[in-house]
Amino acid sequence: MSFDLGRIVDEVCFLEGQPVSERPLAAIVGEYDNGPTLSKAIKNIDAEKDFNTVFIADHSEYIDVKGKKVRVCHNCQIFSQVQELYLFIHGLGGQLEQFEPLLRLVNAMGQRFLAIDLPGFGKSDEWDEYPMLKVVEAVEEIVIKFHAAKIAVIGHSMGCYLASHFYQTYHRVNPINQIVFLSPPKRVLYELQRNVIQWGIWVGYKLPWLFDFYRSWFDQSKGLASSGIRDFFSNDTISTSQTYRKLWQFHNNVQIKSRAIFGYLSGWKPIEWEKLKHILDTTPTKLVVMCGDRDVVTPIHAAQEIVEYLPEHVEKILITIPNCGHHVCFDAPTETCRLFLYHVLNKQV
């Protein structure tokens, strides 16, 4: 990688000076004791400043979608409408912050980005129901406000399903030239079709407090050893910045709304893969799939299955991120940004 591009990657992954609280990372990390009390301490009002960054705060606003507030993060006001728009869609229980190093990278390269807190997650309003195609419709309603000459759609985990539906539904009205899957789920989630799973989802949606109780007392009480951290991070590096990213993710995890999780599972819509293949046959679109080699949530074989299923003549590539779990942007930010720079932003290294 050239010196300049290498420096840019280092800068967008550097977190010192980013917290809105203006405190050093070491002071923030030292403030929160890992263990049973962490989930309570990390919800206080000061924690909101510790785990909100200047970059995200400076680029965020709320957009009205059918009477509900949706938080977005973008830099579109300072760039031309003829430039490519990089649209980021997070996964189940996620939030736009999880793309933070990539957003800073796209911005540093002088390109437009738009990231969305999906309804019910992050700082967006809740909905009564979450049919997947209605969520995709809301994404399109936001996207059309930003007038893009061409679009690259980036999804993480469940966001890969939403990105696929967005492409299938709106490829004729939006010039989508790239699809990027980060840590994609299996091509077909047969588990969601089982009666016992459907029953469990219905119970969770109607009685979300049961899941909240389990999360609070039996999972989040483990602090950074809880499932939302253990299964998302796999990097063995123990640095101040890496610990900060884990605390940041934990801070977001404790605010996830259980009802929204089950609402999305209830409103899940399988991808029509044959239809997707037909569109890719006739529409020049590049597919980039990136997955951590230690991902236990969406293992690498799920990504391989997707790439192998699609036609040979489709421009497609599968990239394995070494020493990385499910949360590619937080677990291996430097390598993820380096690979994104080359394979998605098309900058030579």
Contact 142, 119 (CB under 8 A): no
- Return the SS3 of 170: helix
Contact 62, 273 (CB under 8 A): no
User: Could you tell me how many residues make up the chain?
Assistant: 349
Contact 15, 52 (CB under 8 A): no
| CB proximity list for 328: less than 8 A, separation 6 or greater | 156, 182, 183, 290, 291, 292, 321, 336
Per DSSP, what are the bridge partners of residue 247?
none
Contact 119, 162 (CB under 8 A): no
**Residue with structure tokens 């490519």?**
84
- Distance between CA 280 and CA 309 in Å, rounded? 12
Contact 163, 155 (CB under 8 A): yes
- Return the SS3 of 203: helix
Closest CA relative to residue 224, chosen from 245, 207, 203 = 245
End-to-end CA distance of the chain: 4
- Distance between CA 74 and CA 103 in Å, rounded? 8
Structure tokens at 296: 């236990």
CA atoms within 13 A on the CB side of 216: 12
**Starting at the edge strand that comes first in sequence, how are the strands of the sheet with 150-156 ordered?**
60-65, 68-74, 112-116, 84-89, 150-156, 176-182, 286-292, 316-321
Annotated catalytic residue within 157, 164, 258, 266? 157
Active site residue 266: no
- Distance between CA 229 and CA 295 in Å, rounded? 12
Catalytic residues: 157
